[in-house]
A and B are shown apart, each in its own frame.
Chain A
Amino acid sequence: MAMQQHTNEIHLEAQGAVTILDIRGDITAFSESALGDAYRKASEQGAGKLLLKIEKEAYINSGGIAVLIQILAQTRRKDQRVAITGISEHFKKIFNMVGITKFADVFESTELAVQALT
C-alpha cells in the first residue's frame, strides 16, 4: 500500500546547468528525509536550476504534496529555479490547485524542462 513506510530512491544527475533529482517511488510524508537529503546535496553542490523528475507511475498523496511544498519554499529562499516533470494530468490539476505551479513549471518531458531551465 502507498501508505506503508518506504524510502524513495533519488539519483542526482547534471545536464548542463540543470541538476535533475530523479525520484523513484510514491511520494508521501515518509519521503521527507530522502527528498530533503537529495535537495540539500544538490544545493551544496551549487545547483541553481533543479528539475524534479517524478516517476510516471508514482502516486503523490497529500503528505507528498506537503513535502514538495517544503522543498519549493527552500528553493524560493535560495533563488533557485525549479521545474517538474513526470506527473499526470490529474496531478497537474492538483498542483495548480495547491499553488505548486506558481513556484515550479510543469513539463511533459525531461528534454523540454531542461531546455526551459537552460
Chain B
Amino acid sequence: MSAASCYLFRNLPDEKMGALHAVSHLQTIPKEQWLFHKGERAEYIYLVEEGAIELVMPVEPDIEIPVALIRPGNGCVGVGALLEPYTYSLSARCKEDTRLTVIARADIYALFESDPEFGSTVMTNLAQRLLERLRETREEVKIHFMNLIQSATFS
C-alpha cells in the first residue's frame, strides 16, 4: 500500500500503518471515469497505487480548471472526507486505468477515536499540506494580478 509514501501518513509508526492497512481496500477504476465530483459528500480517501488521477475545478459545463495530477507516491485525493462539511472541493477523474487504495471516512475516524495520537499526526500532516496549497494559491493570485496589470499597461 502506498500509504507510507502519502503525506497524510508521514511519521506514523508501523503498527499504526498496519491498523490503517486493515481498514483499507483496493479498487480499480478505468481511464476517463470520474471518481467523484465537486460538492459530493466525501466518504472516502483515495491513494493512487498505479495510474493517475487528475483533480479539476469545474467552472462551466465545458470548462474546467486543471489543478493537479496525482501519481503513485505523490499524494492522495479526497481529503475533504477528513474535514467538515465532508464534501469534495474538486472533481477527480482517472487519466489512466488507475488502481487505488480506498479508506472510508468512518474507518479512519474510528482509528482517530481509538488512538488520538494517530489522529493528531494525520491532521497535522493535513494542515501542513493545506498551508502549502494556500501558499501556492497566493502565488498564483499574484501572477494573475501581475498579468492583469501588465495587460492593462501594455494593451
Contacts and interface: CB of A to CB of B under 8 A. Distances in A.
Partners in one complex: yes
Interface of A: 1-5, 26, 28-30, 32, 59-63, 65-67, 69-70, 73, 77, 94, 97
B144 A66 contact: yes
Contacts of A65: 66
B interface SS class = helix
A28 B74 CA distance: 15
24 contacts: A1-B68, A1-B70, A2-B74, A3-B67, A3-B133, A4-B74, A4-B75, A5-B132, A28-B140, A29-B142, A32-B143, A59-B66, A61-B66, A61-B67, A62-B57, A63-B140, A63-B143, A66-B140, A66-B143, A66-B144, A67-B143, A70-B143, A73-B150, A73-B151
Contact of B68 (A2, A5, A69, A70): A2
B140 A69 contact: no
Interface string B43-86: 00000000000100100000101111110001100000000000
Which bracket fits the contact residues of B?
Answer: 20 to 34
Interface of B: 7, 54, 57, 63, 65-70, 74-75, 129, 132-133, 135-137, 139-140, 142-144, 146-147, 150-151, 154
A16 B146 CA distance: 33
A65 to B, nearest CB: 8
A3 B68 contact: yes
B136 A5 contact: yes
Interface centre among A2, A69, A97 (most CB of B within 10 A): A2
B60 to A, nearest CB: 11
Contacts of A66: 140, 143-144, 147
